[in-house]
Amino acid sequence: MSEISSLGEFGLIDALTRDFKVKNKSTKYGVGDDCAVLDYSGKEVETLVTTDMLLEGIHFDLTYVPLRHLGYKSAVVNFSDVYAMNGTPRQITVSIGVSKRFTVEHIAEFYDGVRLACEQYGVDLVGGDTSASVTGLIISITCIGEGVKGKTVMRSGARDTDLICVSGDLGAAYMGLQLLERERQASAGQKDFQPDFAGKEYIIERQLKPEARRDVIAELSTLDIHPTAMMDVSDGLSSELLHICHDSGVGCRVYEDRIPIDYQTAIMAEELNMNLVTAAMNGGEDYELLFTVPLTEHEKVQQMKTARLIGRITKPELGAYLVSRDNNEIEIKAQGWNAFTQE
């Protein structure tokens, strides 16, 4: 018998689904990317489908996560998957399992967050399911989006000499989580405890209320930049880089001094005596967009306000490495989020 932890999340998915053969012409791409790609019309638009499950005690802690924020985040992380395919989210279904400790008002608060996300991103709630749960709150959201045929971006298109870019900044959500956990532990047994978040509002928001980067997709379109591969950074930059390298059959070099990091993230890492680059590479939940573009698009990329160049794609035999500030090469390993190895 094999332990699930020996495979990890993506290894388990591959082991469970590799024998499922595609039978329908409408299924253009199934398991293995941020979204499945479906084509029912034979016309210019493809259907993108993604599903995400969030479990209390694994993905969120209601000690410090407001239900309204949780509803918003649950929806947005699915929108992010669609944007990561260069698509547009259109509809979602929301299914929840609820234990007896939740009231109608609690669940209404969660749906308030979902509704706000739908309003902000122009997405329709079109269905779902509810069930009783004996293990707390369980959330499963499916998002349906649209992609223009020929412009949908997979993880598998990166080629040698492509440039590697990432939007926004990295590590902030992870540092926000560390701060929330620290204050939760400090509050144990104290009746009127007041958490100290002064000057750290940005990293708290990045953890509790992330945003999907539709602005990046819009800027890529405006500048006529066509990514060859793309993913959202949900499990950590290191994991996502290795996914693109594996699926594209390439290697990479990413430069430490080019990794975008916010000031609050740096201050929090210093305060907690944590390695800043490790947090940025492996933290996860940033929901930024990691993408590759042909070398010929270098000048266009330099014009981007939402993203920056952090490295390059290499031949596969050169491996995947982080180049440090002192020019040493450190092999990139998948040390980001893995649900099956977390204690």
Write the CATH number for 107.
3.30.1330.10
What share of the chain in percent tops pLDDT 90? Answer: 67
86 and 169 together in one domain:
no
Q: Is 1 helix (H, G, I), strand (E, B) or coil?
A: coil
Residue 341 within any structural domain of the chain: no
Burial status of residue 163 (CB atoms within 10 A of its CB: 0-12, 13-18, 19 or more): buried
What DSSP string runs through 217-251?
A: HHHHHHTT---SEEEE-SS-HHHHHHHHHHHHT-E
Residues forming beta bridges with residue 141, ordered by sequence position:
52, 94
CA torsion, ordered 6, 256, 314, 34, to nearest 10 deg: 50
- How far, CA to CA in Å, does 176 sit from each of 54, 281, 284? 19, 15, 11
Residue-level pLDDT at 343: 46
119 and 47 together in one domain:
yes
H/E run at residue 212: none
Residue 153 within any structural domain of the chain: no
Distance CA 242, CA 250 (A): 9
Q: Are 135 and 56 in contact (CB under 8 A)?
A: yes
Residue-level pLDDT at 160: 98
pLDDT in tens, 61-116: 999 999 999 999 999 999 999 999 999 998 888 898 988 898 888 998 999 999 99
Neighbours of 132 (CB within 10 A): 8
131 and 208 together in one domain:
no
168 and 317 together in one domain:
yes
Mean pLDDT estimate for the chain: 89
44 and 170 together in one domain:
no
- Please report how many Cα atoms fall inside a 13 Å half-sphere around the Cα of residue 39, on the Cβ side: 13
Tell me: pLDDT of 25 over 60: yes
Neighbours of 320 (CB within 10 A): 24
H/E run at residue 291: strand 289-293
> Given the structure tokens 């708290």, which residue do they identify?
204
Final residue in a domain of this structure, among 92, 124, 148: 148
Final residue in a domain of this structure, among 93, 117, 148: 148
Residue 223 within any structural domain of the chain: yes
pLDDT in tens, 117-154: 999 999 888 878 888 899 899 999 999 998 998 999 99
Tell me: pLDDT of 271 over 70: yes
Residue-level pLDDT at 83: 98
Distance CA 131, CA 128 (A): 10
Structure-model confidence comparison of residues 341 and 271, the more confident one: 271
88 and 178 together in one domain:
no
The strand order across the sheet containing 229-232 reads 229-232, 289-293, 163-167, 307-314, 251-255, 320-323, 329-331
Residue 212 within any structural domain of the chain: yes
198 and 296 together in one domain:
yes
Final residue in a domain of this structure, among 148, 182, 199: 148
Residue 339 within any structural domain of the chain: no
**Residues 54, 55, 58, CA angle at the centre, nearest 5°?**
110
pLDDT in tens, 239-255: 999 999 999 999 999 99
105 and 180 together in one domain:
no
Binned at pLDDT 50, 70 and 90, residue 340 comes out as very low
Print the domain residue range for 310: 163-331
- How far, CA to CA in Å, does 116 sit from each of 12, 75, 80, 113, 129? 34, 9, 16, 5, 20
Of 338, 333, 335, 304, whose CA–CA distance to 321 is shortest?
333
pLDDT in tens, 183-228: 888 877 677 667 778 899 999 999 999 999 999 999 999 999 999 9
Binned at pLDDT 50, 70 and 90, residue 17 comes out as low
Distance CA 154, CA 152 (A): 7
Residue 338 within any structural domain of the chain: no
pTM: 0.87
136 and 10 together in one domain:
yes
Give the domain CATH number at 272: 3.90.650.10
Residues forming beta bridges with residue 36, ordered by sequence position:
49
72 and 178 together in one domain:
no
Residue 342 within any structural domain of the chain: no
Q: Are 85 and 146 in contact (CB under 8 A)?
A: no
Structure-model confidence comparison of residues 3 and 276, the more confident one: 276
**Domains in the chain, number:** 2
Burial track 1-39 (b if 16+ CB lie within 10 A, e otherwise): eeeeeebbbbebeeeeeeeeeeeeeeebbeebbbbbbbb
27 and 94 together in one domain:
yes
Q: Are 84 and 289 in contact (CB under 8 A)?
A: yes
107 and 223 together in one domain:
no
Tell me: pLDDT of 325 over 80: yes
